[in-house]
């Protein structure tokens, strides 16, 4: 594809994603507006509002990061990153939002993993975006038991997988493919997974793509999830 | 006895907020459903006096729910208020079908609808029992 065409298709995709982000922001902003109308807000409700606003701001920030990563990759070099510490930070970022939705957030980083090549900020942003999208979606899926989301990492034959996992088969490669296919054509591309437009998943997709990584569906023990495959930093083994 | 509302709202936080607003004066009892299937199950257990419906649901859309709901004779005259994140312009072409054949009595755009407005709209179709 000629450079000009490539540039304009990137701009169009970025505009379409911005449209999805704007659409997605209607949910947290409506939550904030309506909850503020309730009389006599409790302290817990105040905290819940703060978490909602924080997540909305993060979505905008992560969208911007994805665009900047694509346009100015030299500003965001790949570095040796500890997956465990990124997952821990992701858990911290999502904790209050998960609480809003009565979802238990678990961290599963058992095992020793070598540092991986990624941009730490970008990887954290991608995992938070996926996590926030799944937190909103999970309670609307037909399930009666206590909802759990697990931030986990494991080795696969392709590399070290880091992702966000839940007990739902809807988190599959085919759902991801369908979502990507419908991204610009439907207001609800993940029909079987998400009642909104799942902008957080596309934002994560963009961020990972800009770091030469891929958003993939994977399994972790009995759970299904979305995440990415990272390559360990072999250079560090010499140190 | 309070009138029963069936609130079909996929977002857990919004569902709790709407329920709190609609039950504040103890005029209504609210049954919450996160999707179409759960809504049909709940309606089967206790027939609602009114349905508040989001069109964007997981797996089955609000329109699919309406077709299913109206296929049962005992639920044909229950008023349905569409209260949705989907702007009217996006389903304008289906509006006549929704009002004439599927029994939708009103549409409220969720981001623009205050809690007070929602309660008022519900009162219009389900007067408070005294």
Q: Is the pLDDT of residue A128 over 50?
A: yes
Q: Phi and psi at residue B101, in whole multiples of 5°?
A: -105, -25
Please tell me the distance from the alpha carbon of residue A180 to that of residue A22, in angstroms, as a whole number.
18
Inspect the interface and report whether the beta carbons of B85 and A196 lie closer than 8 Å.
yes
Interface predicted TM-score (ipTM) of this complex, two decimals? 0.90
Inspect the interface and report whether the beta carbons of B57 and A140 lie closer than 8 Å.
yes
Predicted local confidence at residue A237, as pLDDT: 56
Residue numbers in A near B56 (CB within 8 A) = 187-188, 195-196
Predicted local confidence at residue A71, as pLDDT: 87
pLDDT tier at A7 (50, 70, 90 boundaries)? low
> Which of B24, B34, B39, B58 is the best residue to mutate to test the A interface, defined by the most A CB atoms within 10 Å of its own CB?
B58
- Region B65-79: mean pLDDT is 95
Predicted local confidence at residue A239, as pLDDT: 43
Inspect the interface and report whether the beta carbons of B54 and A193 lie closer than 8 Å.
no
Residue of B nearest to A190 (CA): B58
Coil, strand or helix at B116 = helix
Predicted local confidence at residue A43, as pLDDT: 87
Predicted local confidence at residue A236, as pLDDT: 56
Q: For all residues of chain B together, what is the average pLDDT?
A: 94
Inspect the interface and report whether the beta carbons of A52 and B13 lie closer than 8 Å.
yes
> Which of A23, A32, A140 is the best residue to mutate to test the B interface, defined by the most B CB atoms within 10 Å of its own CB?
A140
- Region B88-102: mean pLDDT is 92
The string of pLDDT tens digits covering residues B14-54 is: 999 999 999 998 889 999 999 999 999 999 999 999 999 99
Predicted local confidence at residue B130, as pLDDT: 62
Closest by alpha carbon to B33, among B63, B59, B64, B54? B54
Regarding predicted confidence, which is higher, A106 or A14? A106
Please tell me the distance from the alpha carbon of residue B27 to that of residue B22, in angstroms, as a whole number.
8
* Long-range CB pairs of B37-42, under 8 A, 24+ apart, other chains included: B37/A142, B38/A142, B39/B6, B39/B8, B39/B65, B39/B69, B40/B65, B40/B68, B40/B69, B42/B6
Inspect the interface and report whether the beta carbons of B14 and A34 lie closer than 8 Å.
yes
Domains by residue range for chain B, with CATH: 3-124 (3.40.50.2300)
Share of chain B above pLDDT 90, in %: 88
**What is the SS3 string spanning B34-70?**
CCHHHHHHHHHHCCCCEEEECCCCCCCCHHHHHHHHH
pLDDT tier at A112 (50, 70, 90 boundaries)? confident
- Region A107-118: mean pLDDT is 88
Share of chain A above pLDDT 90, in %: 65
pLDDT tier at A144 (50, 70, 90 boundaries)? low
Coil, strand or helix at A56 = helix
The string of pLDDT tens digits covering residues A148-191 is: 999 999 999 999 999 999 999 889 999 999 999 998 888 899 98
Q: For all residues of chain A together, what is the average pLDDT?
A: 89
pLDDT tier at A45 (50, 70, 90 boundaries)? confident
Residue of A nearest to B34 (CA): A140
Least confident of A86-90, A111-115, A154-158, B43-47: A111-115
CA distance, residue B37 to nearest chain A CA (Å): 8
The strand pair at A159-166 and A148-156 is best described as antiparallel
Closest by alpha carbon to B62, among B48, B72, B52, B74? B52
A206 alpha carbon, distance to own chain's centre = 10
| Dihedral angle of Cα A186, A226, A128, A54, to the nearest 10 degrees | 40
Q: Is the pLDDT of residue A62 over 70?
A: yes
Q: Is the pLDDT of residue A238 over 60?
A: no
């Amino acid at each position: 594809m000629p450079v000009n065409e490539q540039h304009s298709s990137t701009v169009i995709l970025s505009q379409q994603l911005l449209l999805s982000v704007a659409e997605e922001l209607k949910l947290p902003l409506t939550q904030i507006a309506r909850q503020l109308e309730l009389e006599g807000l409790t302290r817990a409700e105040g905290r819940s509002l703060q978490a909602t606003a924080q997540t909305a701001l993060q979505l905008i920030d992560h969208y911007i990061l994805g665009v900047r990563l694509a346009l100015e990759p030299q500003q965001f070099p790949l570095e040796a990153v500890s997956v465990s510490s990124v997952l821990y930070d992701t858990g911290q970022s999502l904790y209050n939002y998960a609480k809003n939705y009565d979802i238990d957030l678990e961290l599963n980083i058992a095992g020793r993993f070598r540092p991986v090549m990624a941009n730490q900020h970008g990887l954290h942003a991608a995992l938070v975006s996926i996590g926030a999208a799944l937190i909103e979606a999970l309670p609307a899926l037909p399930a009666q038991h206590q909802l759990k989301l697990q931030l986990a990492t494991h080795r696969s034959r392709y590399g070290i997988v880091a992702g966000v996992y839940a007990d739902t088969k809807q988190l599959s490669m085919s759902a991801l493919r369908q979502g990507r296919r419908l991204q610009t054509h439907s207001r609800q591309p993940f029909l079987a997974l998400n009642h909104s437009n799942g902008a957080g998943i596309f934002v994560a997709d963009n961020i990972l793509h800009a770091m030469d990584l891929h958003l993939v569906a994977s399994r972790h023990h009995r759970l299904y999830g979305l995440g990415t495959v990272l390559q360990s930093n072999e250079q560090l083994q010499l140190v | 006895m309070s009138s029963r509302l069936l609130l079909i709202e996929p977002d857990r936080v919004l569902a709790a907020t709407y329920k709190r607003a609609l039950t504040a004066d103890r005029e209504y009892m609210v049954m919450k459903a996160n999707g179409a299937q759960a809504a049909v199950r709940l309606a089967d257990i206790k027939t609602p006096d009114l349905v508040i419906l989001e069109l964007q649901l997981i797996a089955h859309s609000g329109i699919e729910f309406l077709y299913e709901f109206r296929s049962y004779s005992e639920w044909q005259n229950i008023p349905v208020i569409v209260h949705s994140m989907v702007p009217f312009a996006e389903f304008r072409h289906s509006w006549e079908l929704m009002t004439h054949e599927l029994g939708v009595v009103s549409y409220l755009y969720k981001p623009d609808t205050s809690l007070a407005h929602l309660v008022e709209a519900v009162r219009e179709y389900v007067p408070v029992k005294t």
